[in-house]
Amino acid sequence: MSVKSREPVSSHKGSPRYRRPRVRSNLGSPYAILRATLGGKPCGASTAMKEIVRRNAFYAQSGGVSAVINASACGVIETASGKRQIGKVYAGRHGIVGALTEDLIEENRAEYERLIEVFRAHDIGYFFYNGGNDSMDTALKVSQLGAALGFPITCVGVPKTVDNDLPHTDCCPGFGSVAKYVAVSTREAALDVASMARTSTRVFVFEVMGRHAGWIAAAAGLAGRGEAEPPHIILFPEVPFELEKFLERVRGCVSDFGYCVIVVSEGAAYADGRFLAEAGTRDAFGHTQLGGVAPVVANMVREAYGYKYHWAVADYLQRSARHIASRVDVDQAYAVGKAAVELAVKGVNAVMPTIVRKASKPYKWAIGHVPLAEVANKEKKLPPAYIRADGFGITEPCRRYLEPLIAGEAYPPYRNGLPDYARIKGVAVRRKLATEFKV
């Protein structure tokens, strides 16, 4: 497991200061599980601890990265390292690989049983799974099967998804930072286009993530205020795409403002559910793999009007931009990781920590929790009240929701002009099972 920044930095009381781990790479190792060495205490550290049943903990990350994913990892690992109920803290190499690959976990009971077998062999009594909707379902199933197989294990999901589509939480760690990146990128690219529109590019199309939920696309709306300020058009997955209405809006923008900036979610679709761009493949969870929608939209404009255009895809850049992370996002990511451990050692099982908004101005939040059954495989879409009546922009309530989430800066340390990201030292743990699982 690699750590991309010196985490954590948090405004919460008791937040630890960064301790840089020593760097050691052993990606070619045959060992399946890594021990995360961030100060864990050895078993039997004191006489008083001998009466406490101590079990090991396993932490894994799922899905794509976020700018603050390591803040959650640090929240889990550092908090677990200070708990008497927890012995060693392990982490899976490349996410859950090391116990089992994620795609196989989702497909049949035999692979879940293998996971429990690995946990039993390493005396792992706590499982912290950092991810989104599908990952919460995995954590829930592991908890249920562990009980059925006579190996109770406390499973706590740690929320993380840049899509911001987990229900029952005000926002998801990772979203605030990608929202900040998208809003900043939209504003800066729009200034570029505006400066050259008279003699060069008239239409700019910016593609962002979001398969079924338009939270990231909505964040682009923070870049401007008023109809004349870009983005002039946002295409949400929640709003069925109408070609004629869209083209009319593009022509109007070019006529009125001299140029048009369009932000499109990768999941933009027609009324019948067909995505504007489908690659015809599926990801590890069986979801339709989307191709580039930006060139598709740009070509629609070219064919209709012949405008000179340019398009860009944020892709991995939007979710991995730690250098422009939101301060609020970093704090919340660490807080949910810490809360996951606090809940687990209290015996609270099959839950996910949540972020509860107390106020928007000034922004105040607290940590709650919800049963995994209520979030597993469920999606929170952009509410209709957050989408402008014409379907091409955000409303003031949406702006009030989004603005606090991108607030503040949390710059990583720099060296020679570049972010100086650290890597965690991974001490390989020897296998205890006679059989191997083929990845």
Q: What values do phi and psi take at 323, rounded to 5?
A: -65, -15
Identity of the residue numbered 280: G
**Which residue matches tokens 């761009």?**
277
Distance CA 85, CA 87 (A): 7
Q: Taking each helix axis from N to C terminus, what angle separates 109-121 and 133-148, rounded to the nearest 10 degrees?
A: 70
- In the sheet that holds 124-131, the strands lie side by side as 363-371, 351-360, 154-159, 124-131, 55-61, 86-92, 33-36, 426-429
Nearest to 228 by CA among 201, 197, 255, 208: 255
Q: Rounded to whole angstroms, what are the CA distances from 50 to 125, 308, 346? A: 17, 73, 19
367 is written with which tokens?
Answer: 């940590």
Nearest to 292 by CA among 315, 319, 274: 315
Q: How many residues does the chain have?
A: 439
Identity of the residue numbered 106: E
134, 137, 163, 165: which one is catalytic?
A: 163
Distance CA 270, CA 233 (A): 16
**Which residue matches tokens 């990128």?**
185
Q: What values do phi and psi take at 276, rounded to 5?
A: -60, -30
The CB-side HSE value for 423 (13 A sphere, CA atoms) comes to 11
Cα angle, residue 105 at apex, residues 284 and 135 outer, rounded to 5°:
70
Annotate 3-37 with DSSP letters as a single string.
Answer: --S-----SSTTPPPP-PPPP---TT-S--EEEE-
Contact criterion met (CB below 8 Å) for 107 and 213: no
Task: Answer yes or no: 163 catalytic.
Answer: yes
Distance CA 365, CA 422 (A): 29
158 DSSP β-pair partners: 130
- Give 131's DSSP letter: E
Peptide bond into 8 cis (omega under 30): yes
- Give 389's DSSP letter: T
Catalytic residues: 163
